[in-house]
Chains A and B, each alone.
Chain A
Amino acid sequence: MRPEGSAVPWFHMRFAERPGQGQRLMTWAMAWHPGYLGDWHGDPGLVGEALTRRQYLARHHRSDLMLSDVVGMTLALPEEEAGSLRRELEAIGFSLDEREQGWVAERPSLEFRVRIVAGKPATLSALHFRVAPSEDRVLEISDLSSLTFDNGSATWSFFSG
C-alpha cells in the first residue's frame, strides 16, 4: 500500500481454464508491472518500460551463494492432466520429446519432465537448479525431501519417502 492507502500495481497474469487446472497443479503466465519497483521503493528512477524478472530479483539474489536459477522441474501427473499441460506448453512454444512413461517439454534453460502416473494425484516431485560448482553431496532435509548436488546442478526432491 502507498502511504495514502492506495494499492501499488504488482503484476499482470493470464490463466487458461484447461482441464485439471488448479486441482492439484496450477499454472499461469505473468509479467511484473513496469512501475512496481519504483512505486514500492518510492524511486521514480526504477520505473522503466518493463520490469524484468532479473531486475525484480536483483535486490534478493546473492551471487556469492550457490543457487543460480531454477532450470526445470519433474512432475508426476495423471494422464488427462498431463495431456492438458502438454497442450498448454506446446501452445506457447515449448518443444516436446517423448520419453518412456512420459515426455519432456523444453525451452532454452528450462525443462519440464513429466512422468505419467495412474491413480495418483498430480505432484511436483522435484525442482532442478543450476548452481555453482561444488562437491557432489546429498543433503537430507526431511524423511520426504533431499537436495542432491551433482556437477554444477542440484535436484531438490519432495514427497519421495
Chain B
Amino acid sequence: MPCSSRGIISLALSWWALRLTAQPANQNKTYGYHRAGILAALVNSTTLVVIALGIFYEAYQRFFESTAVKSPLMMVVAGIVGAGMLHALGGWSEGLRSWVEGSPEQAATLFLVVTVVGVSGPMLGLAFWMKRFASRVGRVGRYPPPDARLTRDTRVRRGSSALAIAGLHYVSAAIAVVIAICAPVLVWCIGDVLRFADMDGPVGPSGQQDANMSLNHVFVVLDGATYQGILGSDFLRKEFASFEQRTTVAGDGLEWTGLYFYGASTYVEFFAPEAIDNPIGFAGFAYGVDHPAQLEWVERQWEEKLEVPVVSYGKSV
C-alpha cells in the first residue's frame, strides 16, 4: 500500500477515534467511549509493525533472489523532471537556464535535494505538530478513577494516543520518503560496487539494460600436447576445478567433444586440434546475460553503434 494511503487511513482512524472519545457516557456505555482512542492507536501501531515485518521479509528475500535496480532509469526520470522544472524557472533568469543546459547532472542533483527538503519537510512539520497537540491535550489530567465524571477534555486526552501514533506514522513516512529519494542516488553512486556483489543475480524481464552482463564462457582450440597435459593432470582434477571431458550432440545433429572447466558463473571449453574444424589457436567467448530480453538490448546497441548486421539465433539440444 502506498505510503500516502497508509497515512490517510491512519489519520482518518485517529480523527474518528477523537470524535468517538468526545461522546458522553450513556445508559449502554456508562464509562463513555474513551477506549476508542486506545483501540485506534492499537490498530495503527499494529499496522505499522505488520508493514515493517513485511518490508523486513521482502528485504531478507532480496539477499537470496535479487532483482535489478533500475537506478539509472529512476535518475533519468528525476533528472528530466527536475531539469524541466529548473528550465521553466530559467525563464526568469538567463543565467539559470544556461546553467541547467550546461550542467544537467548538477541540475538533477539539485532537484533531488529540493524534493527531499520540499516533501519531507512539511511531513515532519505535520508529525511534530501532531505530537505537540497530542501532548497538550494529554496534560489535562491523569487517568481519572472509573467513577469520575469525564469532561470533554479528558475524553479528548484518550484520543491523543491515536493522534500520537498517527504522528509517529507520519515521521516514519517522512523518513521513508527521504530514503526512497536518496536510494537511487546512492545506487547511482556505488552501483558498480553493488553490481559486483550481485553479478550473477537474476534480473526481471524488463532488465534490458546491460545489468549483469558478464562472461558466459570461453573456448580455445589447444595444441595436442596441452590438451593431453590437462587430461593427465591430477592437480587440475583433484585441486583446481571441477572438469570433465564431454561430448555434446546438438539438436541440429552437430557433435563436439571438449574439456569443460566449471566456475560458479562462467566456464571454459578446451578443444583438441582434431575435435572441431578450426585451427589450433582459434578461440571465442560469449558475453552472458541472465535474461533473454537483455539480448534485444545488446542487439540494438550493436546495430546502432557498430552499424553492422546482427544475427539472431537459437540453439536446441
Binding site for B on A (CB under 8 A): 1, 7-18, 24-31, 33-34, 40, 48-55, 57, 60-63, 65-70, 73, 87-88, 90-93, 107-110, 121-124, 127, 129, 131, 139, 141-145, 147, 158-159
Contact = CB atoms under 8 A, between A and B. Distances in A.
A51 B293 CA distance: 12
Contacts of B126: none
> Nearest 9 A-B pairs (CB), nearest first?
A7-B251, A7-B316, A26-B284, A67-B241, A124-B283, A91-B305, A60-B262, A69-B263, A62-B242
Contacts of A10: 250-251, 314-317
26 contacts: A12-B313, A13-B312, A16-B306, A24-B281, A26-B283, A27-B286, A29-B286, A50-B202, A50-B203, A57-B263, A57-B264, A57-B266, A62-B262, A67-B263, A70-B218, A87-B306, A92-B210, A92-B287, A93-B210, A107-B214, A124-B285, A127-B218, A129-B263, A139-B235, A145-B226, A147-B240
Nearest to A75: B283
A51 B250 CA distance: 19
Contacts of B7: none
B225 A142 contact: yes
Given A53-B214, A65-B242, A108-B199, A15 B313 contact: yes
Given A14-B310, A144-B226, A93 B213 contact: yes
A14 B208 CA distance: 14
A141 to B, nearest CB: 4
A93 B284 CA distance: 19
Contacts of A25: 282-284
Contacts, number: 238
* Most chain B CB inside 10 Å of its own CB: which residue of A18, A50, A110: A50
Contacts of B261: 67
Contacts of B304: 91
Given A67-B241, A73-B218, A31 B311 contact: no
A129 B218 CA distance: 12
B287 A28 contact: yes
Interface string B201-238: 11111000010011111101011011011100101100
B264 A61 contact: yes
A127 B268 contact: yes
Interface stretch (B40-48, B111-119, B295-303): B295-303
A14, A25, A27, A49: most-surrounded residue (chain B CB, <10 A): A14
A8 B213 contact: no
B277 interface: no
Contacts of B196: 108-109
Contact of B309 (A9, A17, A49): A17
Interface-centre pick from A9, A10, A108 (highest chain B CB count, 10 A): A108
Nearest to A16: B302
A68 B263 contact: yes
A33 B286 CA distance: 15
Contacts of B260: 60
A88 B196 CA distance: 22
B235 A159 contact: no
Contacts of A107: 213-214
B149 to A, nearest CB: 65
A100 B229 CA distance: 33
A121 B235 CA distance: 32
B265 interface: yes
Nearest to B289: A31
Contacts of A147: 236, 240
A127 B245 CA distance: 19
Nearest to B248: A10
Most buried by B among A57, A129, A139, A159: A57
A15 B218 contact: no
Interface in B186-208: 192, 195-196, 199-205
A129 B202 CA distance: 22
A107 to B, nearest CB: 7
Contacts of A16: 302, 306, 308-310
